[in-house]
Amino acid sequence: MQASTPNGDIRPGWRARLADHRLLRSPLAIMAARREQILYLVVGGWNTVFGYGAWAVLQFVLGERLHYLAIVVISWPFAVLNNYLCYRYLVFRSRGPILRELPRFATVYSATLLANLVALPVALQIWPGSIYVVQAAFMAIVIVAGYLAHKHFSFRSGRRAGTARP
């Protein structure tokens, strides 16, 4: 006789069968344990594509009329709003007040914007290649560095530094 599942089904569902599969047990456990980090990388990849795309379109359209640093500043709010919504709802699943979180989130990205405004001209002097390649490399670095800042600052859910989450 087969054991029944918690909902009374005799045959376990597809999730239970996957979790019981010997080849998938370990990867599924790792994914469950590292859900936030994996989602951060996936969502960060999307955010990079979105932010880079917004910047590249503006650079292409306005590049003849505006300085490239002005275009970085113009594209910044679009990228930040997209990033905030994706990280808030998909990665950190925050329920904190938006009016408290969004300014903290924007502060993290303000630091990256300032770093970009300083690093981009320097990088273009060192690597006189395409501005598109240099900007893409910078944005990849921001994904990695931003995780800790968002986890412990932007979406800390009002807890004080040094206190553990329940």
Domain membership flag for residue 163: no
Domain membership flag for residue 56: yes
Long-range contacts of 50-59 (CB under 8 A, 24+ apart): 50/79, 50/82, 50/83, 51/75, 51/78, 51/79, 51/82, 51/83, 51/139, 52/135, 52/136, 52/139, 54/78, 54/79, 55/79, 55/135, 56/132, 56/135, 59/131, 59/132
Domain membership flag for residue 164: no
Structure confidence by residue, pLDDT tens digits, 50-61 = 999 999 999 999
Domain membership flag for residue 136: yes
Structure confidence by residue, pLDDT tens digits, 95-132 = 889 998 899 899 988 998 898 889 889 988 998 778 88
User: Are residues 20 and 39 both part of a single domain?
Assistant: no
Which domain covers residue 99, as residue numbers?
35-154
pLDDT of residue 7: 56
What's the mean pLDDT when you consider all of the chain?
Answer: 80
